[in-house]
Structure 1
Amino acid sequence: ILHLHSQRVLLVSHNSLVTLPEDLGSLSKLTFFSAMKNQLKDLPQSIGELTVLQDLDLSENALEFLPEEVGNLHNCIELDLSGNRLLSIPESLANLKSLRRLHLHSNLLVTVPASLASLPNLSRLDLQNNRLRAVPPEIQTSPFVHLRGNPLGE
C-alpha cells in the first residue's frame, strides 16, 4: 500500500478481504475509502491515522468491534458500518464532530453511547435492526435517529 501514498480515493469493495494492511494509515491523503462487501473481521489501529478521511464505508463485512482509534477520524462526514456483527461501538466515536451520517443498522448492537446524540452535525443515526432493548433518552428523542426493528422495551 505504501506506493499509493498520494491516493485520495481507495475502493477495495467486493474482494473477499479478511484483513486490511497495518500500513493503511500511511495513506495520509485519503478522503474516501470503501471496503464494503468483504469479510473483514477487524481493522488495523492505523485506521485512526487517516485524519483527512471524509467518507468511510465498511458495510457488509464481519466486523465484531472497532478500535478506539476510529475516534481520530475528525474530518469524517459519513461512516457506514451497517451489516456487520458489531456488539458495541467505542465511546471515541463521540469525537467525530464533523460526522453527519452514521449508519449502524443490521448489526448486533445491544447498547449505544448517549454521547452520540451530542455530535453537533449529525443529521442521520441509523440504528435499525439491532438488538437494542433500551436506548439513552438523549438518542431516543432525537428526530434524526432511526430505531425500527429493535426489541425496545422487551
Structure 2
Amino acid sequence: MAARRLIAAMLGASTLAACGDPLPQPLYNEVTPPAAFRVHPGGVRIDNEGYQLDAEGYRVDKSGERVGIIDVPAKTAGDGSNAVAGYYISTTGQNAPGRVAAPSEGAGAGVGAGPGAMNLPTPSQMPQQAPITPAPGNVPPPAGYR
C-alpha cells in the first residue's frame, strides 16, 4: 500500500515537472518592431517622420542645425517660481528659494471651484424636464416579443 502511494506521488511529480509553465509564452521573433530610423545611401539617417539625424541622433534641419532643442537655463532666466518653494531641502540644509505660483480665481472654493461655481442653482430653480412620450411603460411590446 505504501509502495503504491510512493509510485503515485512520483508519477504525479514527474507529470508536473514535464508540464513546465502552463501559461503561453509570447514569441517576440514573430513580430519585430520597425527601426526608429532608416539609413539612405551615403549613410544619411532619416527618422520615421522624415527628419535627418545627426551623429548623436538629434533631428537636424537642412542647414545642419538641431531642431527642437530647448535651452532650459535661457528659457527660465529671471523666473523666480519654484515648485518646492518654502520646503526644507535636506541636501542643502535650507528652505528652497523662490515663490509658489498663485492659485487661479476660485481655486480655494472647494469642489466645483472656478468662476461662477458659487452661484449654482438649487433643485427648485432648475427647469422641469418634459415627460418622455410615449412613456416606456405604456408602449405595447413589439410583434413577436414574449
Q: Which interval holds the TM-score relative to the shorter structure?
A: under 0.3
TM-score (normalizing by structure 2): 0.18
Report which structure shows greater RCO (CA 8 Å, sep ≥6).
Answer: 1
